[in-house]
């Protein structure tokens, strides 16, 4: 998963088998670099250079996924085949995910509701949530404690509740996809 999920649009399916897993990540480089500027010495000119710059990443983990995404007919995929492919794997995957829809998150226990509210107070910012948990748990903090909170934050972000709709419009315009 990306380090700053609050600045990215992450679309993925819930398949368990690696050959069926799909993930499309759209990074808002300007927001990420602006956030990093607070912790590192990054000049304003560098931040300004990345304004309205987005990076799209599609994860292809198996040879079969590469063949299908790039419409390569040969059994053995070579670098030449990949570079010469004229398919549009981002557009195809985006269309597929747009038509799938999302499943609402259901909280059934008081603990789950408390986790949701804890994350809500921190605006589903994974970094802020982890920082607060470290303060509350001090000596007994572990990644196992953080995992349900992280999952709630990612599910909230994937649901689209905090996504910037202007970014979504720019993505649609970039991919030339009409959503109805």
| Domain that residue 143 falls in | 103-159
Measured in residues, the chain has a length of 180
Closest CA to 155 of 114, 126, 122, 121: 126
The stretch 46-50 carries a mean pLDDT of: 83
For residues 72 and 142, the model is more confident at 72
Residues 45 and 94 in one domain: yes
Whole-Å CA distances, 97 to 16, 31, 47, 70, 102: 17, 24, 31, 17, 9
* In contact, 33 and 42? CB cutoff 8 Å: yes
Within 8 A by CB and 6+ apart from 151, the residues are none
Can you give the pLDDT at residue 3?
Answer: 57
Top-ranked range on mean pLDDT: pick from 9-13, 54-58, 129-133: 129-133
Residues 6 and 86 in one domain: yes
Residues 82 and 49 in one domain: yes
Buried b (16+ CB within 10 A) or exposed e, 53-84: ebebebebeeeebbbebbebeeeeeeeebeee
Residues 18 and 88 in one domain: yes
Residues 4 and 55 in one domain: yes
Can you give the pLDDT at residue 135?
Answer: 86
Strand order in the sheet with 23-28: 8-12, 23-28, 54-58
Interaxial angle between packed helices 143-159 and 110-121, expressed in degrees from 0 to 180 and rounded to the nearest 10:
70
Judged by DSSP in three states, 10 sits in strand
Rounded Cα distance, 2 and 70, in Å: 24
Torsion of the alpha carbons at 42, 48, 54 and 60, rounded to the nearest 10: -20
Q: How many domains does the chain have?
A: 2
**Residue 90: pLDDT above 80?**
no
Can you give the pLDDT at residue 179?
Answer: 47
pLDDT for 123-178, tens place per residue?
888 888 888 888 888 777 777 888 899 888 888 877 765 445 566 666 666 665 54
Residues 4 and 54 in one domain: yes
Residues 25 and 87 in one domain: yes
Residues 73 and 30 in one domain: yes
* In contact, 4 and 28? CB cutoff 8 Å: no
């Amino acid at each position: 998963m990306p380090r700053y999920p609050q600045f990215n649009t992450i679309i993925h399916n819930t398949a368990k088998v690696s050959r069926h897993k799909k993930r499309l990540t759209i990074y808002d480089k300007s927001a990420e670099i602006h956030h990093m500027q607070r912790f590192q010495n990054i000049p304003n000119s560098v931040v300004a250079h990345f304004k309205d710059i987005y990076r799209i990443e599609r994860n292809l983990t198996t040879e079969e996924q590469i063949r299908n995404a790039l419409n390569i007919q040969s059994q053995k995929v070579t670098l030449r085949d990949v570079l010469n492919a004229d398919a549009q794997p981002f557009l195809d995957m985006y269309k597929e995910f747009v038509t799938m829809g999302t499943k609402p998150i259901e909280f059934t226990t008081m603990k789950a509701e408390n986790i949701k509210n804890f994350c809500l107070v921190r605006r589903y910012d994974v970094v802020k949530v982890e920082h607060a948990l470290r303060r509350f748990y001090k000596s007994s903090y572990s990644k196992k404690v953080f995992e349900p909170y992280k999952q709630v934050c990612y599910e909230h972000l994937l649901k689209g509740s905090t996504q910037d709709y202007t970014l979504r419009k720019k993505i649609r315009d970039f991919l030339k996809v009409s959503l109805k």
